[in-house]
Structure 1
């Protein structure tokens, strides 16, 4: 058995044979044979040198016993029968079996040495019982060398036959060498078949490993996309609610000297806004905790949808409570939009109003204009600017970038620029038939 046939060691490959038909079914004869072959291959892969020594010893044993008993007959080159010279017989035995120790590293050289020794064996008419060595050498050439080198191996067979015909005559040539050529052909085909199987199994293993790498890459890309989505959601939630809380706190401090009831109202609004922000953050962070909890066997978390345009009015009420007057105009039927589009519009309005709260200053006013037409939607959020410099960017963070990414998911465009002393954010999302890469629906998070 050769180590090249066991490139996968003791592991199981797709060609390693059928499994048992059932958990309690006894193994068949072929399965037992296959299991024994696998164990031999695994041993060969772990200790190749030991296996080579054992194989060489097994091949040499019959000839060694024969020479020890003095049972080595032969003839001189002239044809006279006489007892073989023992030193010559021992030298021929060594030339037949010892090169097998290097059959893995130098298969063709080993084959040439054994072939030359075999010529000497036949010229002197020796009968040493270790001639299987030439078959093993030819098998290794077929297994490890190119087809061109295998052709040269058969040329060596033809050359040795010609030498023997020249020395011994051609009286019994066809009778003696036709079986030799047939056996050599079978050995070569066996080696080529084993080589093809080894290369095929190696290609299957390489393909499986490549698919595993691609699967891991897809998982990492999906995780990165999910982290980016969560980062956008957390930015929208935290920035908006903190801006509302800051506005309420400032307004409450300003009104404390005029009306004792106003600070209490501001604190109540701050508490409600903070609780809502915490609830949304828990839903988002639940996405990050979900794999760990499922791994521990805990129950799957319930799914909660993200906000849509139905939650737009409560959003405007919170902004108004923070001290920013907002006028909202809606044209068309927003309920006809997909859930993902509703979430995108909601986040654009939320981010734009958050920027107005943070940067517009006192005395600013905001206007939201929403138009739904034939599945497409246009939204415009503008403010009067208040004390803000029109040339200043409304958001130094990732807010506008995140809005632009959201709108681009549906094939839309978003512009944010100074206008009329303030800032204007305008988003246009085409109808579903005109948008490329339409997402399946509104994303959900675990709560």
Structure 2
């Protein structure tokens, strides 16, 4: 059935076939003893209807001219059915296409033709007034149908535009999400790798064993980053189905250990009923806060991560001290860290507060609402 609908939509002329059948088989009402070719001439006046969709105004003029010829000829004058129906069709077409001004002119011409017919041939009928006035509702119906189908067509176009806009918005949102994920993965992992590489370079002569442990951390961090990048690439190629598994709060301890700093972790509450998407946002917020600590805090700064799972909310707080040693050389920053955390918090109608502490440290406090 869908294939048939699509086929008909591509070949609109097929919809007119029943209409042509009505014109062809409509009962004739001709006068006089004339040959069939002469009687069939009015049918030629209807041929422009075949192209009424491509040239609505031209077809309307031709149909009105044909009706004028018909109504001024004694042989064809009483064959009003075809003429009135054809004029109603062109009036419908003009209104449907939104050409109301020309449609109004056409309606005026139709009324003039009907009045002309009424003065010329109406007195010879049994009820001349009814013959003239009774045909007008057909044209009112044609106008009303034209307005109806135009409104329906506009509604369809608006729905298609709305669907297209929603599709573009979804694509933009997905791109933003992937960009945020890439930033979180790369910023954290590269910061850990650079920090440990600098530390290994300083300790290579006095503590070779520490160098070995540091290189292990660098290798593990690099492999983890590659795994997450591979997962993001799978999302790009496979879409929604490739989004799991995602990092969860169970991996927070590994994240804290990976950063190479003295960071305490405290998790309270039961995360068992936590939505997977909320778990991912909590993980990413902690990851970004630790990344900022690695980038900007002195080497001897310590940190603390607190995550509390409450019945309707997740509370996250990541702090670090100011430390005593001078800060390490600043690592490149994209400037998207806080903006990304704010976007994640807004997704769950939560709050985010981030800023320096009196001792020179820094604190990030966030909340995610996971239940109404």
Q: Which runs of 5 or more structure 2 residues have no equivalent in the other structure?
A: 1-5, 22-33, 49-57, 92-102
C-alpha change, 1:99 and 1:286, in structure 2 (3 Å) is: closer
**1:416 aligns with one of 315, 337, 354:** 354
Task: Kindly state the Cα deviation for residue 212 of structure 1 after the two structures are TM-superposed.
Answer: 2.4
C-alpha change, 1:288 and 1:237, in structure 2 (3 Å) is: same
Mapping of residues 206-285 of structure 1, within 5 Å: 206-285=154-233
Q: Secondary structure at the match of 1:277?
A: helix
C-alpha change, 1:180 and 1:142, in structure 2 (3 Å) is: farther
Task: Kindly state the Cα deviation for residue 226 of structure 1 after the two structures are TM-superposed.
Answer: 1.3
Task: Kindly state the Cα deviation for residue 348 of structure 1 after the two structures are TM-superposed.
Answer: 1.2
C-alpha change, 1:348 and 1:193, in structure 2 (3 Å) is: same
C-alpha change, 1:379 and 1:303, in structure 2 (3 Å) is: closer
The aligned residue for residue 105 of structure 1 is 61
* Higher RCO (CA < 8 A, seq sep 6+): 1
State the alpha-carbon separation in 1 of the partners of residues 367 and 264 from structure 2.
20
Task: Kindly state the Cα deviation for residue 427 of structure 1 after the two structures are TM-superposed.
Answer: 0.9
State the alpha-carbon separation in 1 of the partners of residues 294 and 38 from structure 2.
104
C-alpha change, 1:338 and 1:142, in structure 2 (3 Å) is: closer
RMSD: 4.2
State the alpha-carbon separation in 1 of the partners of residues 37 and 228 from structure 2.
87
Task: Kindly state the Cα deviation for residue 235 of structure 1 after the two structures are TM-superposed.
Answer: 0.8
Task: Kindly state the Cα deviation for residue 187 of structure 1 after the two structures are TM-superposed.
Answer: 6.3
State the alpha-carbon separation in 2 of the partners of residues 98 and 107 from structure 1.
6
State the alpha-carbon separation in 1 of the partners of residues 141 and 312 from structure 2.
63
The aligned residue for residue 314 of structure 2 is 377
Contact 1:308 1:339 in 2 (8 A): yes
Task: Kindly state the Cα deviation for residue 268 of structure 1 after the two structures are TM-superposed.
Answer: 1.7
Q: Which runs of 5 or more structure 1 residues have no equivalent in the other structure?
A: 1-9, 17-33, 42-61, 68-93, 122-128, 163-172, 292-299, 434-447
The aligned residue for residue 349 of structure 1 is 286
Task: Kindly state the Cα deviation for residue 310 of structure 1 after the two structures are TM-superposed.
Answer: 0.7
Contact 2:265 2:306 in 1 (8 A): yes
Contact 1:376 1:432 in 2 (8 A): yes
Contact 1:388 1:422 in 2 (8 A): no
C-alpha change, 1:383 and 1:65, in structure 2 (3 Å) is: closer
C-alpha change, 1:280 and 1:113, in structure 2 (3 Å) is: same
Contact 1:336 1:375 in 2 (8 A): no
State the alpha-carbon separation in 2 of the partners of residues 336 and 178 from structure 1.
85
State the alpha-carbon separation in 2 of the partners of residues 425 and 400 from structure 1.
9
The aligned residue for residue 251 of structure 2 is 311
C-alpha change, 1:12 and 1:195, in structure 2 (3 Å) is: farther
C-alpha change, 1:161 and 1:345, in structure 2 (3 Å) is: same
Q: Which moved more, 1:141-150 or 1:306-315?
A: 141-150
C-alpha change, 1:343 and 1:425, in structure 2 (3 Å) is: same
- Higher CA-based Rg: 1
Task: Kindly state the Cα deviation for residue 113 of structure 1 after the two structures are TM-superposed.
Answer: 6.6
State the alpha-carbon separation in 2 of the partners of residues 430 and 411 from structure 1.
6
The aligned residue for residue 358 of structure 1 is 295
Q: Which moved more, 1:350-359 or 1:362-371?
A: 362-371
The aligned residue for residue 437 of structure 1 is none
Q: Secondary structure at the match of 1:237?
A: helix
The aligned residue for residue 125 of structure 1 is none
Contact 1:100 1:137 in 2 (8 A): no
C-alpha change, 1:416 and 1:206, in structure 2 (3 Å) is: same
The aligned residue for residue 37 of structure 1 is 17
State the alpha-carbon separation in 1 of the partners of residues 216 and 38 from structure 2.
107
Task: Kindly state the Cα deviation for residue 306 of structure 1 after the two structures are TM-superposed.
Answer: 1.4
Q: How many residues align?
A: 326
CA deviations on 1:185-243 (whole Å, 9 max, x unpaired) are 78666666556555544444443333222222222211111111111111111111111
The aligned residue for residue 30 of structure 2 is none
Please report the TM-score for the alignment, with normalisation by the length of structure 1.
0.61
